[in-house]
Amino acid sequence: MSTITVGIADYKTAKSPDILTTLGLGSCVGVAIYDPDTKIGGLLHVLLPSNNGDTTDTPAKYADTGIPELVRALLRLGAKKGSMVAKIAGGANMFNTFQKSNVFMVGQRNSEMCKEVLKEQKIHLAASDTGGNFGRTIELDTETGKLFVKTIGHGTKYI
């Protein structure tokens, strides 16, 4: 078993018994997609909700292009789309003083876009831990499909 770290605006895939992790989710959202039948999983670290047609940037940076890219990578590895389930975490509002401005609600917009794209991809969102004003680190266990969420000052849990 190895632990594979996913950076910001990146994604990785793995097979059981590996663990995928991403650190320091603030307004970013971690999207874990898992096929329990093949025990294949993937983890995406979304930075922004939409690429707004920019084709020069990395697809993993955005929810609207990163999630479909992750799904394609999982299918290439042998996962079955009909079996895939998703879990998301992050999407915090890290700028409390600007709560009334949508410009600063990046975390909320990231979470909403991730949910929308998962629905478009016909992937069931099994669990989420989003919002608040605190950071998270997550680990996807490809043996079980459990997503371990560690928060700063708010404990730990599996979703």
Q: What is the rounded distance in angstroms from the CA atom of residue 35 to the CA atom of residue 2?
A: 19
**Active-site residue (options: 28, 47, 67, 105):** 28
Alpha-carbon Rg for the chain in angstroms:
15
Q: What is the rounded distance in angstroms from the CA atom of residue 114 to the CA atom of residue 30?
A: 9
Q: Helices 63-77 and 106-120 meet at what angle, rounded to 10?
A: 40
Identify whether 28 is a catalytic site residue: yes
Catalytic residues, by residue number, are 28
